[in-house]
């Protein structure tokens, strides 16, 4: 069964802060046509679900025009293919948008470089805020009340267990920053070590 209301949030990033809970997320406030939404990004590994991440500083969207054409706010994505994201199946210029070999393991809290992912989120958030036309695109699962988006990570390949129910294709989470002042895009990919990158048409591990 796919994640709840797979969507993309497009808007003007305003601010960010670390959540106070025991498994921290970095919370980004996004203005979309006068409505404020929240983006919750996993930024810490926990025992048994270590985070993998890849920061693409020169990201090429599979279809930049499709992103630019999106309405500001929350758009539910119900069809396969662009602009929906699939870590295993999405391509840009004939190449995968990300590969497992590019992903790095995020150390557990207290270990060296454990804040790398958080620092990257803050860096690009600040760049997007400083850019008059900076835009954030957050792909993931809507909050049940529609006020935000989470599951900003790979949502397929989970083994049997608690997260197996989230498996599906063309529903992966991704954080994308469009930075017109520098003519660049940046993307932050997040996955978990427990997830397989060889999946069937239902997103289950093969």
Q: Please state the rounded mean pLDDT for residues 160-176.
A: 95
Tokens 């926990």 locate to 46
Tokens 């025009």 locate to 65
The strand pair at 148-150 and 35-42 is best described as: parallel
Q: Please state the rounded mean pLDDT for residues 185-202.
A: 96
pLDDT in tens, 79-133: 788 999 999 999 999 999 999 999 999 877 666 555 788 899 999 999 999 999 9
pLDDT band with cut points at 50, 70 and 90 for residue 49 = low
Separation CA 161–CA 172 (nearest Å):
19
List the beta bridge partners of residue 12. Answer: 31
User: Of 169, 197, 183, which is closest to residue 99 (Cα–Cα)?
Assistant: 197
Plot region of 146 (φ>0 → left; ψ -120 to 50 → alpha; else → beta):
left
E strands in the chain:
6-18, 25-32, 35-42, 51-56, 73-76, 91-92, 95-96, 104-105, 135-142, 148-150, 174-179, 184-192
The pTM score is 0.95
**Structural contact between residues 179 and 128, judged by C-beta atoms closer than 8 angstroms:** yes
Token output for 119 = 């620092």
Percent share of the chain, pLDDT over 70: 93
Separation CA 188–CA 57 (nearest Å):
9
SS3 percent helix, strand, coil of the chain, rounded to 5, is 15, 35, 50
**Structural contact between residues 13 and 36, judged by C-beta atoms closer than 8 angstroms:** no
Average pLDDT, the chain: 92
């Amino acid at each position: 069964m796919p994640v709840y209301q797979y969507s993309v949030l497009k808007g003007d990033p305003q601010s960010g802060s670390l959540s106070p809970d025991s498994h921290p997320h970095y919370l980004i406030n996004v203005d979309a046509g006068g409505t404020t939404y929240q983006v919750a990004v996993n930024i810490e590994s926990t025992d048994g679900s270590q985070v993998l991440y890849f920061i693409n500083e020169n990201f090429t969207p599979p279809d930049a025009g499709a992103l630019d054409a999106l309405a500001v706010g929350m758009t539910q994505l119900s069809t396969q293919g662009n602009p929906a994201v699939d870590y295993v199946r999405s391509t840009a210029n004939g190449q995968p948008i990300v590969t497992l070999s590019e992903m790095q393991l995020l150390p557990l809290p207290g270990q060296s470089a454990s804040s790398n992912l958080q620092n990257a989120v803050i860096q690009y958030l600040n760049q997007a805020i400083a850019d008059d036309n900076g835009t954030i695109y957050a792909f993931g699962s809507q909050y049940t009340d529609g006020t935000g988006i989470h599951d900003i990570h790979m949502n397929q390949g989970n083994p049997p267990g608690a997260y197996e129910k989230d498996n599906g294709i063309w529903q992966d989470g991704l954080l994308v920053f469009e930075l017109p002042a520098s003519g660049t895009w940046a993307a932050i990919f997040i996955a978990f070590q427990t997830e397989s990158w060889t999946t069937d048409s239902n997103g289950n591990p093969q």
